[in-house]
């Protein structure tokens, strides 16, 4: 079949893909193809009508729609080839991209580089294992968001929310403003899942109670949800017998985490990191398959869209560098970055030993105060950064001036100051 | 007396303390100027942004997302929303077209948060 040769194929037209495609153009690449499976560009931001986006990228509080619209305007001004309503079926290890849509049929590109920007997907009921019947009215927070904000439907009258992640809290406010009753937010962990500002402006403002160390243990109802049973949990997250409480409701909203969407990456043979659930990447966001890059939530779930856009730009610069043959040709051994004390993961996970500025993104394992994040090379501090607070839901970023002489064991750690 | 607040201006969610001294509000715990402003507002007269959707006709979707160009007093938020639920906008719409001017006399305009083509 006819293969069109292109410089870069960007898979996904959300914030990561938009930023990547735009940056690839700015870097002077000629044939940039942006492929999106939805009918329009923008990704999940199109249903995020609340504000709080873009403070870093645009220096302004924007709503999700405004943020994506700004990028769409910029992308539309270029000659980036956009295919919406188009589903990528396969990416081969040789960087052939197969896609399909209704007007053009099967499409195939031979890409010099590929940028994966497929984003992430919500965890659903089977992934958290709630017992009971299977009635209508058990929805993910993102699905509820789409029904209310895009399609204009009210998915229930009285809701219980499981999970205190940002989307769950934002939907608690949104449903209240749409004159639905929100009985409460239940969180299995002993701490809040999302940002504290969202607890203040989404729950406290509307007197919506938050129940920590409590989960939904059973779903009731035949055709339609009639209620749920909640129970307190112990430190091992096991329900405590005798603490069960029945709540009558017709909607259970699940906000129980996000998982990077990597079917295409796995099929291409790209190595997936066990903690981030995204491709392992180096400082150019390049995956284990040379010439294939990852951007945004496909590589690890970020809490801020500004960081998502930033990784899209890094990936595009990596792709441009590859095409312009700036990369040193001799294969080099990658240095692994090991998460040390109190760090659950870093991005990138490995480093090509070359001079340059590297932005590390990481998550801490527990809430800490007055801490120092240190990047060590064989025990010697390369960079240290003091923070007043760090919480697991909030990604920490640290920019490091990397030298190719750094060799040896690279460890990232976070420690609270003693005393 | 000190009152505690959590700043909602950016994701850092700073813990603020606001103390009234000689008729002035003194904010501590903030890491930027916006936090100081938020602390004083939150203590004296809390304000919030409006983000919601309004009815849309003639477009690809039934809802137009909208956002205010400034903060409105918190106690007027539900009245503003009820007003917005009563209006209908016709496609096409351009980003930041005015959907409601000076909503309920607050001096704040409500703007379209995206483009919508005729569908």
ipTM of the complex: 0.92
Measured between CA atoms, how close is A54 to chain B, in angstroms? 10
First to last CA, chain B: 57
Question: What pLDDT is attached to residue A327?
Answer: 60
Residue B116, C-beta contacts closer than 8 angstroms, at least 6 positions apart = B56, B59, B60, B61, B64, B91, B92, B93
Contacts of A177 in chain B (CB under 8 A): 52, 78, 81
Radius of gyration for the alpha carbons in chain A, expressed in angstroms and rounded: 22
Per DSSP, chain A holds a count of helices (H) and strands (E) of 8, 28
Contacts of A66 in chain B (CB under 8 A): 67, 95, 113-114
Beta strands in A102-163 (DSSP E): 105-116, 120-122, 131-132, 138-140, 158-162
Asked if A197 and B7 touch (Cβ cutoff 8 Å), the reply is: yes
- What tokens appear for A212 in the block? 């920590």
pTM (two decimals): 0.94
Residue B78 has pLDDT above 80, yes or no: yes
Cα B114 from Cα B94, distance rounded (Å): 6
Contacts of B65 in chain A (CB under 8 A): 49, 63, 65, 149
Say yes or no: A74 contacts chain B, CB-CB below 8 A. no
Question: What pLDDT is attached to residue A329?
Answer: 58
pLDDT in tens, chain A (419 residues): 789 999 999 999 999 999 999 999 999 999 999 999 999 999 999 999 999 899 888 988 899 999 999 999 999 999 999 999 999 999 999 999 999 999 999 999 999 999 999 999 999 999 998 999 999 999 999 999 999 999 999 999 999 999 999 999 999 999 999 999 999 999 999 989 888 889 999 999 999 999 999 999 999 999 999 999 999 999 999 999 999 999 999 999 999 999 999 999 999 999 999 999 999 999 999 999 999 999 999 999 998 999 999 999 999 999 999 998 766 656 678 999 999 999 999 999 999 999 999 999 999 999 898 999 999 999 999 999 999 888 888 899 999 999 999 988 999 999 998 75
Cα A341 from Cα A388, distance rounded (Å): 17
- 3-state DSSP assignment of residue A350: strand
Percent of chain A with pLDDT over 70: 98
Asked if A258 and A301 touch (Cβ cutoff 8 Å), the reply is: yes
> pLDDT of A220-236, one tens digit each?
999 999 999 999 999 99
Q: How are beta strands B110-112 and B63-68 bridged, if at all?
A: antiparallel
B9: nearest Cα among A308, A61, A304: A61
Considering CB atoms only, which of B11, B78, B114 is closest to A65?
B114
Question: What pLDDT is attached to residue A1?
Answer: 77
> pLDDT of A139-149, one tens digit each?
999 999 999 99
> pLDDT of B86-113, one tens digit each?
999 999 999 999 999 999 999 999 999 9
HEC states along B53-111? EEEEECECCCEEEEEECCCEEHHHHHHHHHHHHCCEEECCECCCCEEECCHHHCCCCEE
> pLDDT of B26-74, one tens digit each?
999 998 898 999 999 999 999 999 999 999 999 988 999 999 999 999 9
- What tokens appear for A106 in the block? 């099967």
Residue ranges of A 303-342 with Cβ closer than 8 A to chain B: 303-304
Say yes or no: A73 contacts chain B, CB-CB below 8 A. yes
A175: nearest Cα among A50, A260, A344, A75: A50
Q: How are beta strands A158-162 and A251-254 bridged, if at all?
A: parallel
pLDDT class for B22, splitting at 50, 70, 90? confident
Cα A118 from Cα A267, distance rounded (Å): 14
- The single-letter DSSP state of residue A282 is -
Give the residue numbers in B contacting A (CB under 8 Å), as ranges: 5-13, 31, 48-49, 51-53, 55, 60-63, 65-67, 74, 78, 81, 95, 113-115
Q: For residue A202, what is the nearest residue in chain B, using CA coordinates?
A: B8
Asked if A170 and A255 touch (Cβ cutoff 8 Å), the reply is: no
A251: nearest Cα among A366, A147, A352: A147
Q: Which helix (H) or strand (E) holds A175?
A: helix A166-177
Q: What are phi and psi of A196, to 5 degrees?
A: -65, -30
Residues in chain B: 119
pLDDT class for B14, splitting at 50, 70, 90? confident
Q: For residue A150, what is the nearest residue in chain B, using CA coordinates?
A: B63
Question: What pLDDT is attached to residue A333?
Answer: 85
Cα B40 from Cα B21, distance rounded (Å): 12
Asked if A365 and A344 touch (Cβ cutoff 8 Å), the reply is: yes
Among B3, B16, B65, most A C-beta atoms within 10 A, so best to mutate, is: B65
Question: What pLDDT is attached to residue A330?
Answer: 61
Cα A207 from Cα A140, distance rounded (Å): 22
Question: What pLDDT is attached to residue A331?
Answer: 65
Asked if A150 and A42 touch (Cβ cutoff 8 Å), the reply is: no
Handedness of CA A203, A207, A212, A216 (dihedral sign): negative
Say yes or no: A201 contacts chain B, CB-CB below 8 A. yes
Contacts of A72 in chain B (CB under 8 A): 115
Question: What pLDDT is attached to residue A65?
Answer: 97
Say yes or no: A214 contacts chain B, CB-CB below 8 A. no
């Amino acid at each position: 079949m006819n293969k069109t040769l292109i410089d870069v194929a960007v898979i996904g037209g959300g914030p990561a893909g938009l930023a990547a495609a735009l940056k690839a153009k700015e870097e002077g690449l000629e044939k940039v193809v942006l492929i999106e499976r939805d009918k329009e560009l923008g990704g999940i931001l199109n249903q995020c009508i609340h504000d709080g986006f873009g403070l870093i990228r645009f220096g302004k509080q924007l709503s999700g729609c405004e943020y994506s619209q700004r990028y769409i305007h910029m992308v539309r001004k270029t000659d980036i080839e956009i295919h919406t309503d188009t589903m990528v079926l396969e990416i081969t290890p040789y960087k052939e991209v197969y896609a399909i849509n209704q007007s053009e049929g099967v499409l195939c590109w031979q890409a010099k580089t590929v940028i994966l920007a497929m984003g992430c997907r919500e965890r659903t009921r089977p992934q958290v294992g709630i017992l009971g019947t299977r009635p209508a009215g058990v929805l993910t927070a993102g699905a509820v968001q789409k029904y209310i904000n895009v399609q204009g439907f009210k998915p229930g009258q009285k809701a219980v929310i499981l999970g205190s992640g940002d989307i769950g809290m934002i939907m608690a406010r949104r449903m209240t403003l749409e004159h639905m009753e929100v009985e409460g937010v239940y969180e299995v962990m002993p701490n809040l899942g999302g940002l504290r500002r969202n607890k203040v402006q989404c729950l406290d403002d509307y007197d919506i109670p938050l129940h920590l160390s409590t989960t939904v243990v059973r779903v009731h109802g035949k055709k339609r949800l009639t209620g749920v049973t909640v129970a307190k949990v112990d430190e091992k997250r096991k329900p405590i017998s005798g603490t069960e409480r029945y709540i009558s409701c017709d909607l259970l909203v699940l906000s129980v985490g996000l998982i990077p969407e990597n079917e295409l990456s796995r099929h291409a043979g790209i190595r997936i990191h066990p903690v981030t659930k995204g491709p392992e990447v180096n400082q150019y966001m390049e995956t284990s398959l040379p010439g294939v890059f990852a951007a945004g939530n496909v590589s690890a779930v970020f809490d801020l869209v500004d960081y998502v856009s930033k990784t899209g730009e890094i990936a595009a610069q990596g792709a441009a560098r590859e095409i312009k043959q700036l990369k040193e040709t001799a294969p080099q051994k990658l240095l692994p970055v090991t998460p040390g004390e109190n760090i659950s993961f870093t991005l990138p996970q490995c480093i090509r030993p070359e001079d340059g500025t590297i932005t590390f993104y990481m998550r801490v394992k527990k809430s800490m105060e007055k801490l120092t994040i240190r990047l060590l090379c064989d025990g010697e501090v390369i960079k240290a950064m003091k923070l007043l607070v760090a919480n697991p839901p909030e990604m920490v970023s640290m920019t490091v001036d990397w030298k190719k002489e750094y060799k040896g064991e690279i460890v990232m750690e976070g420690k609270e100051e003693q005393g | 007396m000190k009152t505690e607040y959590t700043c909602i201006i950016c994701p850092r969610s700073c813990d603020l303390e606001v103390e009234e001294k000689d008729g002035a509000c003194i904010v501590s715990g903030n890491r930027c100027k916006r936090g100081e402003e938020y602390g004083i507002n939150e203590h004296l007269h809390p304000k919030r942004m409006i983000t919601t959707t309004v009815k849309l006709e003639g477009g690809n979707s039934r809802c137009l997302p909208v956002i205010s160009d400034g903060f409105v007093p918190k106690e007027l938020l539900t009245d503003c929303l009820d007003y917005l639920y009563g209006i209908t906008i016709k496609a096409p719409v351009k980003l930041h077209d005015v959907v409601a001017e000076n909503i309920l006399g607050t001096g704040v305009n409500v703007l379209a948060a995206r483009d919508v083509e005729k569908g």
